[in-house]
Amino acid sequence: MARILKENLPVKHCPICKRPFTWRKKWAKCWDDVKYCSERCRANK
């Protein structure tokens, strides 16, 4: 079984805090719809 390295994960930038955030397993099915890095940024949109 091949290991997935953190360097190879997709990255997006949060439009609120401008910080980069990486793909998480819980976002596997909805990665295209994820816009914010956290609930706090989503609430402050």
pLDDT digits (tens, 9 = 90+) for 14-37: 999 999 999 999 998 999 999 999
Considering only CA atoms, give the Rg of the chain.
12
Structural domain count, the chain: 1
Residue 1 belongs to a domain: no
Read off the pTM.
0.73
Residue 35 belongs to a domain: yes
Band of pLDDT at residue 13, cut at 50, 70 and 90: very high
Residue 22 belongs to a domain: yes
Residue 7, pLDDT score: 83
Residue 32 neighbours by CB distance under 10 Å = 7
Residue 4, pLDDT score: 74
Residue 15 belongs to a domain: yes
Residue 24 belongs to a domain: yes
Q: Could you list the residue range(s) of the whole structural domain that residue 25 is in? A: 6-43
Helix (H, G, I), strand (E, B) or coil at 27: helix
Distance between CA 21 and CA 13 in Å, rounded? 6
Query: How far is the CA of 15 from the CAs of 37, 40, 43, in angstroms?
Result: 9, 12, 12
